[in-house]
Structure 1
Amino acid sequence: MRFMLIIKATPESEAGKMPSTELLEAMGKFNEELVNAGVLLAGEGLHPSSRGARVHFSGNKRTVIDGPFSETKELIAGFWLIQVKSLDEAIEWVKRCPNPMESDSDIEIRRVFEMEDFGAEFTPELREQEQRLAGRLAANA
């Protein structure tokens, strides 16, 4: 099972405050543990929302909204994508993580949909297309 571990933004991260050397070292050690265990698929920090944008969809209309975005507790400051056997295992990994912010913070854990989760609506043709795209992505990596 794949899980996305979502680091929630804080007012400090949204202000562009960079982590301390100590936190970067602690995160480096944690990332190394994830790699050594063979569970890390990807992981990155994100710039503040002031350097981003949102695209709002309403029918066929698209509206671009420039950052920053006001609701800090709903924003993402970074993520890991891991592959583990269960939600419990994902939780155990997160509990080992250093505090990703130098203040109170949260990491949200969300399971990633797999092809079999979509049921009959995911036709053999769609399944074939998805597998083809996955092959192309792997070749690009």
Structure 2
Amino acid sequence: MMKKFLLLIREDINRLSQFSEEEIQQDIAEMNSWVEELIKFDSFISGEPLENDYQLVGKQVETDGLFIDSKEGISGYLMIQAESLEQAAAIAEQCPHIIQGKITIEVRPIMEIPQ
């Protein structure tokens, strides 16, 4: 049975803000090409790039887990379907920007809540 997964795309927001329009379009074209592959294999559900502006609301939670470097932020997301977390991670590893070392992708299973 297929499950849904959220792929959170994390990258250096400072680096992104220095991109020329041409570099932004090139990055978008590379990601769109990858998404077209995901669509062919019926893995893609949805996704969007995010603008660089953001505002944190609420209390910062102390964790022992993953720390987000202050210059790193979430620049976009994809929702995909896969059979397991391992398969979803394997799909994420095929992203051209992962292969080029430009980004990190956090792969999170979406919790199914019984109706």
CA distance in 2, matches of 1:85, 1:103: 26
Equivalent position of 1:12 in the other structure: 15
Q: Are the counterparts in 2 of residues 16 and 47 from structure 1 also a CA contact under 8 Å?
A: no
Output aligned runs, 1:50-69, within 5 Å. 51-56=53-58
- Cα 1:103–1:16 change in 2 (3 A) is farther
Which AA in structure 2 matches 1:106?
T
* Higher relative contact order structure (alpha carbons within 8 Å, sequence separation ≥ 6): 2
CA distance in 1, matches of 2:110, 2:48: 17
- Between structure 1 and structure 2, the one with the greater Rg is 1
**TM-score (norm: length of structure 1):** 0.61
Could you list the runs of 5+ residues in structure 2 that have no partner in the other structure? 60-68
Among 47, 53, 62, the alignment partner of 2:51 is 47
Q: Could you give the per-residue CA deviations for residues 91-110 of structure 1, whole angstroms, max 9, x where no partner exists?
A: 1211111116x764211111
CA distance in 2, matches of 1:92, 1:78: 19
Which AA in structure 1 matches 2:70?
E
CA distance in 2, matches of 1:12, 1:103: 13
What is the CA RMSD across the aligned residues, in angstroms?
2.5
Please state which structure has a larger fraction of its residues in helix: 1
Could you list the runs of 5+ residues in structure 1 that have no partner in the other structure? 58-69, 117-126, 128-141
**TM-score (norm: length of structure 2):** 0.72
Equivalent position of 1:124 in the other structure: none
- Aligned pairs, number: 101
Give aligned-pair identity as a percent.
Answer: 24
Q: Secondary structure at the match of 1:55?
A: coil
Output aligned runs, 1:60-139, within 5 Å. 71-73=70-72, 75-99=73-97, 104-116=102-114, 127=115
